[in-house]
Amino acid sequence: MHEIVHFSLSSTANHTHAHFYNAQNSYFVYDDRQVKNSLVDPTVLFTMGKGVTPRALIWDMRGGFGSMKRSNAVYDQENDSQGNAVPNSAVWTSDQVDKIVEQPVARHPYQQALDNWTPETQSSLHGLLSAKNTLYWSDYLDLYYHPSSLLTLPDWEYHPTDYPKGRSRGAGESAFLDYSVGASQWEDMSNKGEYLDTHFRPMLENCDVMSGLSITSEVDSAWGAFTGLMLAELREDYIPKTTIFTWAIHDNAKLPMQRRVSRAQSVLPLVQNSDLYIPMGASPATMSNMGLDPSSQWHLGALYNFPLESFSVLSSLRKMDERLSMQALADMLQNGTQRNICSAFAAIEDRTIDYSVSGLSGQGNHVFSKTAVLRPPVEESAAPPTAQGKLQQLSLQDILNSTNPLADLSKDPWKHFGQDELTEKGTPLSALHRIECPQPFNQRPSLPDGIIGPHDHLYTSLTIDNGPYDDLNNMAKLLSMGLRTDESRDMAEDYYAQAEQYQFGSEEEDFDDD
């Protein structure tokens, strides 16, 4: 066994993981005769108890779970499958006895349809979700988490429209944004007891050999500090040698000075303690190109899930000659160096998705390494669907003609990889890897309409280039000028050392102040 555990912290990350686990759930087969033909081994990401549940820890604020109850159809509120009390007093409760009357969140029609499942339910799920009525990640989650997987920040509460950045339940900060707020929250929770011993160690001990930890978290809010401090403790006390990928969700808007300083404080420990650090942002232009609403976390989560799921599923493939461990993927990209900051990219036929983050993962002019994953369509066809979903009849000349946008990826599925151009510019061939994943990206009713079709290839890539050189130097300068403490000076020196890894050629240290 080579189990992989996922951590998800923040509402945006939990939306991403709702899409992620809905995809994993779709790969299950329930007939022993079909197992030999299934492509994905569920035991990597799921554990078997009274029911099958993800190997995951999910953090949110009070109110962030929507209509989800602590108990569910598989696990009751008090006991697990062996009749033992579920050791998770942090879920929807706190150490203090507070009498708070809260308006319950109505159960979403999508969940009501799942509750009353019939053979016809699958087709009826389409159309139940919209950007306006889908506000919580639990609205469209297709499976159950174990109660002990669900953890809250008891001092903070969330509402998707009234206080989407969180609101303190007591005196103090009005939003969960600053580094100091997240650091204080982690210190308060971890000092009340052996927090990770209580919540992480049982999951670790449930694995034969835990081969990887995948973390998804907001970073440009207080969640960045909370996650970074937790990860540092995990590295030191629990999993010093385990491969860790951090999928870092960033705000792509131009940040004010205080939040830029906060970002700089958060990013460093995450980079230092991760084998790969993948910043992800989504600009309004990218969202518009995909026909998505930038204000919808349901839409954002679906977009962020493309690279997360495509690279993660490689470690769950059933055939050993097709499976790639997280460590193998990290080795491909690091290529014998300490560089670990990647930029993510995706393409769905002719539509491209640039996940670069302003001020962090801009495009460099030299690529050190690149690994890409290509996934086949769910339905192979010489007549791909149009944007409206109807089949378009294409002539042979249309298919051969590269100017036809519907034939682009079908003619050359690797056209976005650019291998010849990269090698001409000095990227060694040994640092370029193209992986064909046999498992298509399944079409779930929980996906936004039109985001990907059954005839579409999905291409995703991670690239390490020299872009972080300027970005890391800029963050070092921010810390030196913005905080002026011994600790910030030490962090600045660490940033300068990290930046040297990304220097290429005769780059000047002419990083700007913006």
- Measure the N-to-C terminal CA separation of the chain; round to a whole number of Å: 47
Structural domain including 363 reads: 351-465
Same domain, 330 and 360: no
Same domain, 456 and 485: no
Same domain, 17 and 160: yes
Residues near 413 by beta carbon (within 8 Å), at least 6 away in sequence: 374, 457, 459
Last residue of a domain, one of 342, 361, 377: 342
Contact 152, 133 (CB under 8 A): no
- How many domains, the chain? 3
Last residue of a domain, one of 274, 309, 342: 342
Same domain, 216 and 360: no
The least confident of 107-121, 233-247, 429-443 is 107-121
At 171, is the pLDDT very low, low, confident or very high (cuts 50, 70, 90)? low
Same domain, 455 and 473: no
Residues 26, 284, 256, CA angle at the centre, nearest 5°? 115
Residue 51: its pLDDT value, please?
Answer: 84
Same domain, 262 and 374: no
Residue 473 lies in a domain: yes
Mean pLDDT over 125-153 rounds to: 94
User: Is pLDDT above 90 for 350?
Assistant: no
For residue 259, what is the domain's CATH number?
3.40.50.1440
User: What's the pLDDT tens digit per position in 454-502?
Assistant: 999 999 999 999 999 999 999 999 998 878 888 899 999 999 999 999 9
Same domain, 414 and 302: no
Q: How many residues does the chain have?
A: 514
Same domain, 330 and 362: no
Last residue of a domain, one of 342, 361, 392: 342
CA atoms within 13 A on the CB side of 85: 3
Contact 367, 461 (CB under 8 A): no
Residue 32 lies in a domain: no
State the average pLDDT for the chain: 86
